[in-house]
Amino acid sequence: MKLRKIALATVAVLAVAAGVAWLSLDKETRGLLRALPTNRDLLFWSQSQRDAAFRAMDRLPVLARWHVMHPGAAARPLPIGAPLQLPLDVDAYMQAQRSAALLVLHGGQLRLERYGLDFDAEGRWTSFSVAKSFTSTLVGAALKDGFIKSMDDRLSDYIPEMRGSAYDDVSVRQLLTMTSGVAWNEDYGDPQSDVARFNNHQPEEGVDALVSYMRRLPRAAPAGERWNYSTGETNLVGVLVNRATGKTLAQYLEEKVWHPAGMEQRGTWILSKTGLEISGCCIQAAPRDYVRFGQFILEGAQTSGESILPAGWLQEATRKQADIGQDGRGYGYQWWTYDDGSFSARGIFGQGIFIDPTRRLVIVSNANWAGGARDPVALQAREDFYRAVQQAVDAEAGR
């Protein structure tokens, strides 16, 4: 009987200890324990796996290799402004979007900051293709620093392994605007598409996995004549920046963006199997730091009164350079553009940074769309939300 009491007491102590340990874990780690993905095929994770993983991509055993962007000495303040009066039910909108974070910065003040999915301002959420616009900014910085000589340089000048491939004569500009003319399938629902297959490609010995995959692709159209969305090409841009600067993308981003923009928290950038940042995807950052990036771009990417980018380059990057077949919209240098002068970074499952320079407006969205990577209903609802915010700002200004 005495032994039984001791055993029960031991179990009770262990249970209490386990409970304390659970409570001491942050929300991201608790989420992983609830639904831990065991494969790298994130396009085909379940909704519950995505809910858990999107807040902790850099702690998944199947993906846990990353580089860190450390914050500087002082974070940029984000003063709280008067609540923005919107002509819609924000709670209903966030529920339909399955929003983790929704922030509106207007004139440098936070006019809206809301969280969902048991997420908050202290966590980091994955960017997916929002990272493309960070990568684009690094290209501009490398031009300003002289690491890249010209937007009209050939890709193969920086990545010699691409010589003889369909990318041999493709320029840096064509790569950034996704007008290379090289075949690529970005169908997120097709396990045989290029975007689903290239991460699992087995490269030749001594060749970067991405370079090995991309140099095998055939030409589909003359370079410069056709726009085709390709994450693979943004990943090539990252390899180019790495080769040109001799720095990891995380190092260069920390130097050129993370510190100048006044980021408050550390960020992480997931690595490929060959140890390079996946430059078309997978930055993890706090929602307020995504807002800071948007404001940094809105203000001309300046530090100490000087832009990190060449004169006029940001204006080129954020206006229509390629026709995407949609009225009033286009594609710049890894930015989605609108004919009214606004532009956005977009990532699958509901990630976004919308920037409207005229209205001094930055909108950040982090989400896990229920309808899939490119949920058309959720995408249109988000576009409608952008318009509603613009209208609210105009109404305040008496426009």
Pick from 175, 154, 179, 153: nearest CA to 164: 154
Residues in the chain: 399
Tally the domains of the chain: 3
Write the pLDDT tens digit of every residue in 208-246. Answer: 888 989 999 999 999 999 999 999 999 999 999 999 999
Q: Which domain CATH number covers 172?
A: 1.20.58.710
Q: Of 8-22, 100-114, 264-278, 337-351, where does mean pLDDT reach its minimum? A: 8-22
Q: Confidence class of residue 33 from pLDDT cuts 50, 70 and 90?
A: low
pLDDT-derived band at 29, boundaries 50, 70, 90: low
- In order of 115, 181, 230, the CA distances from 222 in angstroms are 46, 5, 16
Confidence of residue 12 (pLDDT cuts 50, 70, 90): very low
Same domain, 22 and 69: no
Give the separation between CA 69 and CA 58, rounded to whole angstroms.
13
Asked whether residue 138 is domain-assigned, the answer is no
Mean pLDDT to the nearest integer, 90-111: 98
Q: What is the DSSP letter of 80?
A: B
In whole angstroms, what is the distance from residue 346 CA to residue 127 CA? 8
Q: Would residue 327 count as lying in a domain?
A: yes
What digits encode the pLDDT tens for the residues 258-269?
Answer: 999 999 999 999
Torsion angle of alpha carbons 84, 87, 92, 93, nearest 10°?
Answer: -80
Query: What CATH number corresponds to the domain at position 81?
Result: 3.40.710.10
Asked whether residue 99 falls in the same domain as residue 197, the answer is: no
- How many angstroms separate the CA atoms of 54 and 20, rounded? 25
- pLDDT band, residue 34 (cuts 50/70/90): low
Are both 23 and 79 inside the same structural domain?
no
Residue 205 lies in a domain: yes
211 is written with which tokens? Answer: 């370079």
Lowest mean pLDDT among 45-59, 201-215, 360-374: 201-215
Residues 274, 189, single domain; the answer is no
CA distances from 216 to 165, 223, 239, 273, 275 (A): 7, 16, 16, 19, 21
pLDDT band at 27 (very low <50, low <70, confident <90, very high): low
For the whole model, what pTM was predicted? 0.91
Q: How many helices (H) and strands (E) does the chain have?
A: 14, 13
Residues 238 and 268 reside in one and the same domain: no
Residue 30 confidence (pLDDT): 56
Q: Is 193 exposed, middle or buried (0-12, 13-18, 19+ CB in 10 A)?
A: middle
| Identity at 67, one-letter amino acid code | H
End-of-domain residue from the set 178, 210, 245: 245
Residue 254 lies in a domain: no
Give the integer Cα–Cα distance in Å for 353 and 292: 10
pLDDT tier at 204 (50, 70, 90 boundaries)? Answer: confident
More confident of the two residues 284 and 195: 284
Measured CA to CA, the distance from residue 395 to residue 386 in angstroms comes to 14
CA of 144: how far to CAs of 105, 138, 141, 299, in Å?
28, 10, 5, 17
pLDDT higher than threshold 60 for residue 135: yes
- Among the listed ranges 202-206, 286-290, 317-321, 354-358, which one has the minimum average pLDDT value? 202-206
Cα separation of the two ends of the chain: 82
- 164 shares a domain with 238: yes
Two tokens, residue 274 = 């060959």
Looking at the domain assignment, is residue 141 inside a domain? no
Q: State whether residue 231 is helix, strand or coil.
A: helix
Residue with tokens 């510190």: 259
C-alpha 111: how far from chain center: 23
Task: Quote the CA–CA distance of 28 and 146 in Å, as a whole number.
Answer: 40
Q: Are residues 219 and 291 in the same domain?
A: no
395/275 same-domain check:
yes
In a domain, 143, yes or no: no
Looking at the fold, whether 187 and 231 belong to one and the same domain comes out as: yes
Asked if 153 and 8 sit in the same domain, the reply is no
Residue 17 is predicted with a pLDDT of 34
Are both 95 and 178 inside the same structural domain?
A: no
Q: How far apart are CA 52 and CA 30, in angstroms?
A: 8
Q: Are 45 and 15 contained in the same domain?
A: yes
pLDDT band at 61 (very low <50, low <70, confident <90, very high): confident
Residue type at 28? E
Q: What is the CA radius of gyration of the chain?
A: 22
- At 153-169, the pLDDT tens digits run 999 999 999 999 999 99
CA dist 131 and 283 (Å) reads: 6
The answer as to whether 140 is a domain residue is no
User: Distance (Å, rounded) from C-alpha 217 to C-alpha 231?
Assistant: 14
**Residue after which a domain boundary falls, among 22, 42, 59:** 59
* DSSP conformational letter for 217: P
Q: Which domain holds residue 392?
A: 65-131+263-399
Q: Is residue 258 part of a domain?
A: no
Percent of the chain with pLDDT over 90: 79
